[in-house]
């Protein structure tokens, strides 16, 4: 598995944070705030794979392009960036030695916490 930083997702998340489209929630809230799989699939079917990709900091370049397995480290609920999702992404990326992704998530967290 080769996971690389999704630069488009990083730019998208930065813009959303600057525009105030962010939920400043607690560290462990992501399991409650993440969309259930059924709703996530419905959102992706309505908006397409490119829009779906913009919500994930990681891309598994070895996975098929139009599969959920290709996209890792979500940063929000497809409407707003969630602080808890960014914390989770940073932690998991660091755990699996995805240094670029962990660094990007840390940058996003700093942007969120700056206000």
* DSSP of 35-89: PPHHHHHHHHHHH-HHHHHTTEEEEETTS-TTSGGGEEEE-BSSSSEEHHHHHHH
| Cβ atoms within 10 Å of 24's Cβ, excluding its own | 11
Walking along the chain (115 residues) 10 residues at a time, the average pLDDT comes out as: 94 98 83 85 96 97 94 96 95 96 98 89
For position 7, what pLDDT does the model report? 98
For position 115, what pLDDT does the model report? 66
pTM comes to 0.93
Where along the chain do its domains lie?
Answer: 3-114
d(CA 102, CA 1): 17
């Amino acid at each position: 598995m080769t996971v690389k930083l999704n630069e488009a997702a990083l730019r998208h998340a930065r813009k959303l944070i600057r525009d105030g489209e962010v939920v400043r929630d607690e560290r462990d809230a992501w399991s409650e705030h993440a969309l259930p799989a059924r709703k996530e699939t419905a959102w992706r079917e309505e908006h397409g794979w490119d829009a779906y990709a913009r919500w994930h900091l990681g891309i598994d370049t070895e996975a098929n392009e139009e599969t959920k397995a290709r996209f890792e480290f979500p940063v929000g609920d497809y409407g707003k960036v969630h602080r808890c999702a960014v914390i989770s992404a940073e932690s998991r990326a660091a755990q699996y030695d995805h240094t670029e992704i962990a660094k990007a998530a840390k940058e996003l967290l700093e942007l969120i916490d700056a206000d």
